Structure 1
Amino acid sequence: MMGEFDSIRPYADHEVRAVLDRLLGDSTFLGMLTRFRFPRLAGPLGWLLKPLIAHRLRQQVAGIASVAALQDRIELYVDRTLESATDGVSYSGLEQLKPGAPYLFLANHRDIVMDPAIVNYAVYHAGLPTPRIAIGDNLLQRPFVSDLMRLNKSFIVHRSLTGRREKLAAFQLLSAYINHSIRVDGQSVWIAQAEGRAKDGDDRTDSAILKMFHMSRKDEPFAHVLSSLNLIPVSISYEYDPCDQAKARELSIRASSGSYEKAPGEDDASIALGITGYKGRVHVHFGAQVTSGFEDAKQLAALMDRHILGGYRLFPVHHLAYAQWEERDAELAVPALEHQFTADELQSARSEWQRRLDACPVEQQPWLIRQYAMPVRNYYRVKAGLPL
């Protein structure tokens, strides 16, 4: 029997084995893994390496017949990736999440794969069930990517639809699925606060996403529906963004020419760099559950912004960029760097920041500075109770 949500939902335990077997026979997937593991040898020796990698994978996933077992196996790789690409992940606010309660995690969005992976990491290590993850279909161009993501508790957000009626139907289904996941299945959900990454460092909640949560329960008051979803604001802070140069380039081109065309494979490159690139320290803050103080989507978006921006962890690099930013707010009381960080921290931040600036073409530098400076302005405006 076809279920209402079959076109978008994650795979269930009974489907895991068949999907894994399909992946092990997918030449494109094995080719990507070969290039990832052996970048120099993949071209000339790909024909030889592919079957070896398939064999090794088959051994690693032998006996896996559930999503939880697969996540336990994946977790080892996530831990290893975070160890090699960060100077440590810290988190706060997890103690207020009740075991067994499902939540709707609404998070700022900086990195395509690592944002939900790091939230998963925090939740998993706290001994809580990992959330289902909303992922845009624009990132699922290849069947194997879709299979991989849906195996790992991801569900699909149809963004590439153009017709108004199709879009409306897709949002209706998405709304029903998120409500069903939390209220019927008792499963948490992670979703970004806006479509696409905040490339200029300005994390803002799109009220259209909040309206979408309400769409499938239109006959109930907005405030009642949203408070029934156990809404938790999540702030993810990276000390350094591996994709910062690419974002500065895109914003600079957009500002000078009015538009920006992505090159083929650009999303893939962003994903790979976002996973493996150096991030410095990473902090995830889980805010208090938001249950009141709003009547409509606009008011709730403003409230979520205050929670998410106020929960942001600022690192020395953010302050260094803010000091160079032409748009900084002279009225804001931002404490001196020396009062907040050690001399060693500041020294290493200064050299890393200078290295990033030097690598950035002069005309793109204002956009690089803006990415790192914006969170300082937002954080201190929230602290001072000023409008954002």
Structure 2
Amino acid sequence: MPHHPLSTRTQRTVDSPAEFAACRDRFFTRPLSDTMLRWCFPELSRQAVVEQTNAFRGTEEFQFAYVNPMLQRILKETSQGLSISGLDQLPTDRKFLFISNHRCIVMDAALVSLNLLSSGRGTCKVCVGDNLMDTPGVAELMLLLNGVVIKRSGARRDVYAKAQQTAAYLARQIEEQRYSVWLSQSPGRTKDGNDHTDPAIIKMLALAGDKTRADFEKLHIVPVAISYEFEPCATHKVRETLLRLQHGKYHKAADEDVAQIRDSVTANKGHIHLAFGKEIRLDGAHSADAVQEVADRIDAQIWSIYRAWDSNRIAHALLTQDNWDLDTPYAQAFLGLIANQVAELTAMGLPSVPAREALLQLYAQPVFNARRAAASRT
């Protein structure tokens, strides 16, 4: 297969067997790989796993034989199961741009990619920010998940040039029926539960064309909503939110991404739902701003198809003083979880009242958003 300039000039994706082998070998030298192997494949030696993957020639084989069993173990050990809706309604003879809310560094993209693969649709390209490429282990893992790096830091002219190149690369994957693409709706995970599409993401995609409705139609955009009954890395997210409020900025520690991946893999997630929406059609629309219109339509679908759990509803009831029976075993267990997380945050030196409010907001916001979406349809 001929290499696209994105991979040969920047080496920010894995498209050839040689690139895959080099990335795989680097991954197995990283401490993160040892952590994941011990937890996900306790019955196998590290050498046995490495030898098995030596036969693989690309990311799709790696995902099917290595990442898929790992993900299944994670789901079995740390969740009450995964449910899926909407995927069977999408044509199987087309590649899509899946624009998703973002709650977990690894799980979100992996769940979409591997369910596409298991349904016979092939894996997808996964867009990741260049901030993740600074962390050894995380960088290689993202590329092995068929990652494409989105450059967000550096000189403005360089960022713009790379964005044009990336947009053209992604558009070609879809138009030439190579791969579907997964892209988060904002540059990072939501820290406050408010799943909102950043128009800058849509503008980046538009660099492959002229920002016309026809250009967006060619991308076959499908919104995706991922919901976890128990928020991955909730204390990490609230800590960052509160520190930003206190200091106006937040400095991420060097090992923070690795720690959050580890915690998100091993923590209890409860039920998980993966909802695929409908392809966005702009025919007949009259807005002068196609970029904002696409962003608004993505938001409306994600807010509508997001599967809310009782954890979300209880948090919403507590913030709005709605009626809810807090004496049920489930409600008491959820309140205990919140209390434990507040205790963790206060042990870090953060005030308890804002910590509790931020945790509840993280859970409640999808309910607020769903009601807003429902109101806009009436």
**TM-score of the superposed pair, with normalisation by structure 2:** 0.86
Task: Give 2:257's match in structure 1, choosing from 258, 262, 267.
Answer: 267
Report how far residue 196 of structure 1 moved: 0.8
Residues 205-227 of structure 1: CA deviation (Å, up to 9, x unaligned): 01111111111212xx5211001
Report how far residue 342 of structure 1 moved: 12
In structure 2, C-alpha distance between the alignment counterparts of 1:92 and 1:274, rounded to whole Å: 23
Output aligned runs, 1:28-47, within 5 Å: 29=30, 31-35=31-35
Q: Residue 384 of structure 1 aligns to a residue in which SS?
A: helix
Counterpart of 1:284, as a letter, is L
Matched pairs, number = 360
Task: Give 1:372's match in structure 2, choosing from 353, 363, 368.
Answer: 363
Task: Give 2:134's match in structure 1, choosing from 141, 144, 149.
Answer: 141
Report how far residue 63 of structure 1 moved: 2.5
Matching residue of 2:5 = 4
Counterpart of 2:18, as a letter, is E
Shift in CA distance, 145/253, structure 1 to aligned 2, threshold 3 Å = closer
Task: Give 2:274's match in structure 1, choosing from 284, 287, 291.
Answer: 284
Q: Residue 88 of structure 1 aligns to a residue in which SS?
A: strand
Q: Residue 250 of structure 1 aligns to a residue in which SS?
A: helix
Shift in CA distance, 181/337, structure 1 to aligned 2, threshold 3 Å = farther
Task: Give 2:63's match in structure 1, choosing from 63, 71, 78.
Answer: 71
Matching residue of 1:43 = none
Matching residue of 2:306 = 312
Output aligned runs, 1:16-35, within 5 Å: 18-19=21-22, 22-23=25-26, 27=29, 29=30, 31-35=31-35
CA-based RMSD: 2.8
Residues 287-310 of structure 1: CA deviation (Å, up to 9, x unaligned): 011011455111221111111111
Residues 191-248 of structure 1: CA deviation (Å, up to 9, x unaligned): 0001011101011001111111111212xx5211001111100011111113111111
For structure 1, the 5+ residue unaligned runs are 40-51
Report how far residue 177 of structure 1 moved: 0.8
Report how far residue 137 of structure 1 moved: 1.6
Check whether the contact 1:242–1:274 (CA below 8 A) recurs between aligned residues: yes
In structure 2, C-alpha distance between the alignment counterparts of 1:16 and 1:166, rounded to whole Å: 24
For structure 2, the 5+ residue unaligned runs are 347-351
Q: Residue 197 of structure 2 aligns to a residue in which SS?
A: coil
Output aligned runs, 1:1-388, within 5 Å: 3-6=4-7, 7=10, 10-15=13-18, 18-19=21-22, 22-23=25-26, 27=29, 29=30, 31-35=31-35, 54-74=46-66, 75-142=68-135, 144-161=137-154, 163-218=155-210, 222-292=212-282, 293=285, 295-325=289-319, 328=320, 345-346=330-331, 348-361=333-346, 362=352, 363-385=354-376
Shift in CA distance, 131/147, structure 1 to aligned 2, threshold 3 Å = same
Shift in CA distance, 197/173, structure 1 to aligned 2, threshold 3 Å = same
Counterpart of 1:34, as a letter, is D
In structure 2, C-alpha distance between the alignment counterparts of 1:286 and 1:8, rounded to whole Å: 31
Report how far residue 166 of structure 1 moved: 0.5
Find the structure with the greater CA-based Rg.
1
In structure 1, C-alpha distance between the alignment counterparts of 2:51 and 2:81, rounded to whole Å: 30
Matching residue of 2:349 = none
Report how far residue 266 of structure 1 moved: 1.2
Check whether the contact 1:10–1:153 (CA below 8 A) recurs between aligned residues: yes
In structure 1, C-alpha distance between the alignment counterparts of 2:205 and 2:104, rounded to whole Å: 23
Report how far residue 359 of structure 1 moved: 4.4
Report how far residue 66 of structure 1 moved: 3.5
In structure 2, C-alpha distance between the alignment counterparts of 1:309 and 1:21, rounded to whole Å: 37
In structure 2, C-alpha distance between the alignment counterparts of 1:21 and 1:360, rounded to whole Å: 37
Bigger mean CA deviation after superposition, 346-355 or 262-271: 346-355
In structure 2, C-alpha distance between the alignment counterparts of 1:92 and 1:110, rounded to whole Å: 18
Residues 321-380 of structure 1: CA deviation (Å, up to 9, x unaligned): 11222xx4x9xxx8x657xx9966555445444444454431422211111111111111
Check whether the contact 1:317–1:350 (CA below 8 A) recurs between aligned residues: no
Counterpart of 2:223, as a letter, is P
Shift in CA distance, 262/238, structure 1 to aligned 2, threshold 3 Å = same
Check whether the contact 1:207–1:297 (CA below 8 A) recurs between aligned residues: yes
Report how far residue 34 of structure 1 moved: 3.5
Q: Residue 6 of structure 2 aligns to a residue in which SS?
A: coil
Q: Residue 205 of structure 1 aligns to a residue in which SS?
A: coil
Check whether the contact 2:171–2:219 (CA below 8 A) recurs between aligned residues: yes
